[in-house]
Amino acid sequence: MPKALLLENIHPFAAQSLRDHGFDVVTMKGALGEDELIEALDGVDLLGVRSKTMVTRRVIDARPTLSAVGCFCIGTNQVDLEYAGRRGIAVFNAPYSNTRSVVELVICDIICLMRRIPAHTHHLKHGLWDKSASGSHEVRGKTLGIIGYGNIGSQLSVLAEALGMRVVFYDIEEKLALGNARRAASLNELLEQSDAVTLHVDGRKSNTGFFGEEQFGHMKQGAIFINCSRGFVADLGALKQHLESGHLSGAAVDVWPVEPKKSGDPFVTSLADEDNMVLTPHIGGSTLEAQEAIGHFVAQRLEDYWFRGSTSLSVNLPQMTVGACGAAARIAHLHENLPGVLADVNNVLGDRNINILAQSLGTQGELGYVVTDVSEKPDAEALEALRSLKGTIRMRVIG
């Protein structure tokens, strides 16, 4: 029976789906450190994580029989993707399933900060009745600056316009503007005209600390700042200075440079004493609807990979969509992208009079992946010959 380990309180649907497909599933609520993860992965075929468990080179080297990792979230920066691919480990994520949840939180933050809801709540909690319109604004007619116009940024753009906001966005890649959104020629142009600035950039290393003192300094007087993307992209010390000076009127932070590994752990931030501040514990995608959708989506990708060899929507292997195996066996061969590997695979099978019923090949960068349906299951000698082919990274037989 294949074994799956699901960490970080992944939605129960995922565990049940894997069990229904014959997996022995172990679930854990919290994240694991490197040493703990290596120990827990003994005998495990599929690993499921969210954002806190780091799948490093050391982990991969220690457990080379691991077949796939499912990131039950949008980001995949917690996994060394390139190294996992070179060791034959497929990685899947859920790039769309919690998009709406994140967008709704950002819209909520914008309205709350524009109306100074956190400040008014704080005053009432401390016995102060402060019924005043001072500093409170409608979002209608205000300009929203979106940094990163991907799945989340573009959907946020549509909802913000529905509220009557003007939208300007900045992205390092060419993106189609939706609705009446306008692309800014530079980041500074966006910052200088936006009443609200929100970050939606990915987890690549080059984004570390990219939004700091210089960028905060270019923001419009009285603007608000929101980060629901990655904790390491914004300098929170610089943010605090601009809040205390009165340059910025409020901020919302959902992601943090260092986060506790599990719910209930202590957490301290210097932003806690700011007046008009929304602080949330990385809950942008944490709605029941989103977590169920993510559980369904990623579990399906893992199941398709294990039982069919399908790498559709993998983030680190060549893309291959294959249906159910109707042949005697299916050979999934991941290899270095070298000339002649496909011919070598076919020669091994042909020399043993094994008929090929269907075959698909895909390449991506330095990797190649060939899926071959055959009329009979190869014997041990044939399988060893396939494993011994030059450039072979991982070979497995399905069916």
Active site residues: 230, 259, 282
Q: Find where tokens 């909802």 sit.
A: 159
Copy the structure tokens of residue 75: 């980001």
Q: Do 157 and 146 contact (CB within 8 A), yes or no?
A: yes
Residue 332 parent element (H or E): strand 329-336
Q: Find where tokens 């000698």 sit.
A: 381
Which amino acid, residue 99? T
Q: Do 151 and 178 contact (CB within 8 A), yes or no?
A: no
Give the span between the Cα atoms of 132 and 312, in whole angstroms. 55
Specify the long-range contacts of residues 242-245, CB closer than 8 Å, at least 24 apart: 242/216, 242/217, 243/271, 243/274, 243/276, 243/277, 244/274
Q: Find where tokens 């499912």 sit.
A: 70
Q: Do 166 and 143 contact (CB within 8 A), yes or no?
A: yes
